[in-house]
Structure 1
């Protein structure tokens, strides 16, 4: 079972030497952050239906997370979904049905919460696969719910995203570097959300 300490402690461990998380193509290079699209929740519902249809009871939870899950927040036009399965490392139990449903494995990070990421098109999506009681999944929900109710932090994050995208594109950087540019603001927002939730004093 997750503890408060699990949730508030970030795992910044780099990949083991010689390891790469990328299964197929490398990280996205051009970062497009666009205005909030009110069709994004419907796009998530389409994806959730596909995931549940492919996996049945193996899909323990399907959550809309990331910036497209926060009304009014600009975002990359890619739906982020957290998919919880009984064991993310047991790819034979969930990967073949998802591949048959049109999803493609792009990232495998057994050293980081057992994370796998698949992509989809129409709608464009990142499907993040985790095992139960994952601290990262809990954090994603906390961050989403906080931004939905806190306009000041939503605006702060909006500005950080737009600034990071502009700098990353100007420097020819990839999406991981874009994410790194936002990290300080993200961690500050998380801290306020954790305190409000009683997870930190």
Structure 2
């Protein structure tokens, strides 16, 4: 069964929800997380997004997250093994197929961590690219409204191009 793609206009409630979630995650994991970051489209003011909060938690070694299944489950997160993404641990929160939060654990020294932050930060500081991405997301959501995987796949070239632009600034 394909997952529906629903894009909503930006709302400051996403930042408020992230800030609350950040506190709860920090408390649950104590000092085990090196960093916690709001990533994805809900982290960029003005960017339309699927109403799913993406949170990245940075660790020194990925296996450290294996002991987080129980503490995060107390916050409503379910661990979802993703063998196709060996450099990430993934947790989700919310009704199945209608999740509200995605928690991604990456090594802070890894390329995935860096790319997520580069992409977010570039969009935050380049309104032209933010607008271009917003239009692309809306177009793809109308074309692939019943297929979230294909929607995501079709955004990938744009995302990669922005990451490359961001790398040139660093």
Structure 1 and Structure 2 fold alike (TM over 0.5)? yes
Partners of 2:127 and 2:81 in 1: how far apart? 33
1:102 aligns with 2:76: yes
Q: Quick check: 1:64–1:81 contact (8 Å CA) kept in 2? A: yes
Q: Which residue of 2 aligns with 1:22?
A: none
Q: Which residue of 2 aligns with 1:156?
A: 132
List structure 1 segments (4+ residues) > 6 angstroms apart after TM superposition. none
Q: Which residue of 2 aligns with 1:182?
A: 155
Partners of 1:33 and 1:93 in 2: how far apart? 34
More strand by share: 2
Paired residues in the alignment total 167
Deviation at 1:134, TM superposition (A): 1.4
1:84 corresponds to which of 50, 58, 75: 58
Deviation at 1:66, TM superposition (A): 0.6
Cα deviation per residue 1:77-121 (whole Å; 9 max; x = unaligned)?
111000123433345422111112221112423x63521211123
Instruction: Return 113-122 or 51-60, whichever deviates more.
Output: 113-122
1:71 aligns with 2:27: no
Q: Larger Cα Rg: Structure 1 or Structure 2? A: 1
Partners of 2:66 and 2:158 in 1: how far apart? 38
Could you say what the CA RMSD is over the residues aligned between the two structures, in angstroms? Answer: 2.0
Matches within 5 A, 1:185-196: 185-196=158-169
- Superposition TM-score, scaled by structure 1 size: 0.76
Q: Which runs of 5+ in 2 are unaligned?
A: none
- Superposition TM-score, scaled by structure 2 size: 0.89
1:125 corresponds to which of 71, 83, 101: 101
